[in-house]
Amino acid sequence: MISDKKGLEHLSLLLIAKKVKHIVFSPGSRNAPLIATFPRYSEFTCYSIVDERSAAFFALGLAQKTGETVVLSCTSGSALLNYAPALAEAYYQKIPLLVLSADRPENMIDRGDGQTIRQQNVYANYIRKSIQLPEETQTEEQLFEYQQLALEAIVATQFPCKGPAHINIPFSEPIYNQKEKEFPTIIPINSPINQANLLEGEYKNLAETWSSSRKTMILIGQQKPNAELNELLEILNQDPSIIILSETTSNVASSGFINSIDKTLATIEASDLDLFLPDLLITINSAIVSKKIKAFLRSKKAYDHWHIDLSNEVLDTYFHLTRTIPEDAVKFLKRITPLLQAQPSNFKVQWLKQKVIANARHDQFLKNTSFSDLKIVNTIIQQLPKTSNVHFANSTPVRYSQLFDIDTSLVVDSNRGTSGIDGSISTAVGAAFTAKEITTIITGDLSFFYDSNALWNHYVSPNLRIIVINNSGGNIFRFIDGPSELPELETFFETKHSRKAKSLAEEAGLDYFSASNLDETEAILNLFFEKSKRAKLIEIFTPNVESAETLKSYFKFLQKG
């Protein structure tokens, strides 16, 4: 038995045909027809999470880890507005989510009916496709239109690039009636194929331009591990005129790359900065954590900037964009690399010399520094189990992570699409549920408490490890320019508090540990990552004022040695 709403069986079969497996529900009444349909198909794994905001980030974690389209379904009214933060993150991070929002019939909108808002195009500014299904599906023509619209939205989550889509579905009452499955035939499904958008002659021209540059910088943004891309970058890394910059969230690494951008930039004298600017900047993927590289590349000095983006998005992050290349990065580099001519240059050598200087100063400072957030993050990163997954929450943990060498066997994730703190824990819970390996979320206290509903569900995997660095507030505001000088710092920026995570962890059935110094932290971490029957949380209490001063001192030391 399934809902008697005509069309829903067709929608189910379309989703199955497109290999959609995961559907995350939030309880409600108006979406009852969906709840009475999808769980009746064995091809779907269905979840129920009450808090819509947390549910959406949980789905984001599932999709982030699997790369597959994950469905979200909620009732009408303000419920679907709670999906907005996760959808914005998915849009900018290019993660495939599909919202199926239940709605009142069109004639009931703006009539003062309960749980009724204007739902059509509600996510207009951060959605790849938004459609409303027709309620009337009595004729073959109406049913064909219903299926065609639904299929367009499903496909839009994966093609030509991944991202979120929204299907709004109006339902008239009664909404709880059921019928037997009819096993109808659905419309033909043709899978679109990404074709190369550049002609052979264009590759030749681009290769000539690239080869004329003696200072080429390739900057890699956030992405999933990509062995093929890493191999191509290693080939390009042999060219002395090319320097490759990456971050922890880039999931690429090599001894010949600059993998700690802020650390290296901090050692360059202001008078020498122009020597390190490129003649040609090539960017792959968009989300970059480092504010220092953004400020550096926004220099007034002229250079060319090519951004490789299959969606052909015009993303002028550094105010020098000269060309968007509508190609998959691997495909583009495969075709252009054999055409390149290496140039004599000391560009790479200059950068790598600074990397050596930065690493030496970094090690010297860490050796002598006292207990602080910086010291704790260093300790945690050294203890992370190989071949595991790690999420760095916003905003300080992901910034701290950029200062350290991360083991290349780790898969690093972070919500850097919009960089909000609102769903970091829920995302990690979703990712951990679908991953076989240990998944660790490293978070600050505000991010953890803000998203504590992430633990209010039945899907908290025993493989989940939560590390809360509790410095009693938003410590980032003590070391960024501006807030630390204002009298409102503690009340309105840092939001100082005395909350602890122990009761939340125990209520959710997690094993709880705490530490207040380096020795306690190291002792607990030695056992923390061992397999267990329950998820684990360690809360590390660190000094807020001292931690901020330590980070400021760190960067001063990098500058002067």
Q: Give the span between the Cα atoms of 322 and 316, in whole angstroms.
A: 9
Give residue 193's pLDDT. 66
Cis peptide before 395 (omega within 30 of 0): yes
Same domain, yes or no: 471 and 515? yes
Please tell me the distance from the alpha carbon of residue 249 to that of residue 225, in angstroms, as a whole number. Answer: 9
Q: 439 and 411 in contact (C-beta within 8 Å)?
A: no
CATH number at residue 348: 3.40.50.1220
Total residues belonging to the chain: 561
54 and 79 both lie in a single domain: yes
* Amino acid at the residue 200: E
Please indicate, yes or no, whether residues 297 and 162 belong to a single structural domain of this protein: no
Pair 396, 294 in one domain: no
Give the tens place of pLDDT for each residue, 5-24: 888 999 999 999 999 999 99
| CA–CA distance, 399 with 10 (Å, rounded to integer) | 46
pLDDT for residue 408: 92
- Give the pLDDT score at 310: 85
More confident residue, 316 or 136: 316
59 CB-near residues (< 8 Å, 6+ apart): 22, 24, 70, 71, 72, 86, 97, 430
Read off the tokens for 35: 């709840």
What is the pLDDT averaged over residues 527-532?
95
Give the mean pLDDT of the chain.
91
Same domain (yes/no): 421, 328? no
First to last CA, the chain: 72
Average pLDDT of 245-272?
Answer: 94
Q: Does residue 309 form part of some domain?
A: yes
How many Cα atoms sit within 13 Å of 79 on the Cβ side? 27
Q: Average pLDDT in the 462-482 region?
A: 79
Across-strand partners of 307?
Answer: 283, 324
One domain, residues 162 and 212: no
Q: What is the tens place of the pLDDT at every residue in 427-456? A: 999 999 999 999 999 999 999 999 999 999
Quick check: is 308 in a domain? yes
CB < 8 Å & 24+ apart, contacts of 334-339: 334/232, 335/196, 335/198, 335/203, 336/203, 336/206, 336/207, 336/210, 337/232, 337/235, 337/236, 339/203, 339/204, 339/207, 339/211
Q: Average pLDDT for residues 30-58, to the nearest whole number?
A: 95
Between CA 453 and CA 508 the distance in angstroms is 10
Query: 444 and 471 in contact (C-beta within 8 Å)?
Result: yes
Count of domains forming the chain: 3
Tell me what pLDDT residue 402 has: 96
Q: Beta strands 2-3 and 178-179: pairing type?
A: antiparallel
450 and 542 share a domain? yes
Q: What share of the chain is helix, strand, coil (3-state, %, to 5)?
A: 40, 15, 40
Nearest to 46 by CA among 73, 64, 19: 73
CB 170 within 8 A of CB 106: yes
Angle, in degrees to the nearest 10, between helices 52-66 and 424-434: 50
Please report the pLDDT score of residue 128 as a whole number: 95
- Asked if residue 85 has a cis previous peptide bond (ω within 30° of 0), the answer is no
User: Does residue 373 share a domain with residue 348?
Assistant: no
> Is 154 domain-assigned?
yes
Higher pLDDT, 424 or 484: 424
The token pair at 488 is 């409102």
Write the pLDDT tens digit of every residue in 485-506: 666 656 656 577 889 999 999 9
Q: What percent of the chain has pLDDT over 70?
A: 94
Q: How confident is the model at residue 137 (pLDDT cuts 50, 70, 90)?
A: confident
Are 167 and 224 members of one domain? no
Contact predicate 87/56, CB 8 Å? yes
8 Å CB contact between 374 and 262: no
**Is 347 a residue whose pLDDT tops 90?**
yes
With respect to residue 179, please indicate whether it lies within any of the assigned structural domains: no
Quote the CA–CA distance of 466 and 448 in Å, as a whole number. Answer: 9
The contacts of residue 145 (CB under 8 Å, 6+ apart) are 134
536 occurs within a structural domain: yes
Tell me what pLDDT residue 105 has: 77
Which of these ranges, 62-66, 217-221, 311-315, 473-477, has the smallest mean pLDDT? 473-477
**Could you give the strand order of the β-sheet that contains 304-308, starting from the edge strand earlier in sequence?**
242-245, 216-220, 280-284, 304-308, 321-325
HEC string of 133-201 equals CCCCCCCHHHHHHHHHHHHHHHHHCCCCCCCCEEEEEECCCCCCCEECCCCCCCCCCCCCCCCCCCCHH
Q: Name the residue range of residue 256's domain.
A: 200-352
Compute the Cα dihedral for 85, 91, 93, 97 and give only its sign. Answer: positive
Stronger pLDDT, 50 or 560, i.e. the higher one: 50
Q: Give the pLDDT band (50/70/90) at residue 195.
A: low
| pLDDT higher than 90, residue 171 | no
Whether residue 194 is contained in a domain is answered as no
Asked if residue 187 is part of any domain, the answer here is no
Same domain, 28 and 168: yes
pLDDT band at 4 (very low <50, low <70, confident <90, very high): confident
* CATH code (residue 379): 3.40.50.970
Backbone angles phi, psi at 308, to 5 degrees: -90, 115
- The two three-digit tokens of residue 70, written as one number: 């994950």
**Token code pair at residue 304:** 């060319």
Amino acid 9: pLDDT: 92
Task: Decide which of 173, 208, 223 is a domain's last residue.
Answer: 173
Residues 404 and 260 reside in one and the same domain: no
Mean per-residue pLDDT for 359-384? Answer: 95
pLDDT number for residue 191: 74
Q: Is the same domain home to 480 and 374?
A: yes
> Cα 251–253–258 angle (5° rounding)?
115
Q: Are 2 and 53 in contact (CB under 8 A)?
A: no
Residue 336: pLDDT above 80?
yes
pLDDT for res 162: 94
Evaluate if residue 478 carries a pLDDT over 60: no
Question: Quick one: average pLDDT of 342-356?
Answer: 95
pLDDT in tens, 107-126: 656 666 767 668 789 899 99
pLDDT number for residue 378? 96
Gap between the Cα atoms of 11 and 143, Å rounded: 10
Look at residue 433 and tell me if it is in a domain. Answer: yes
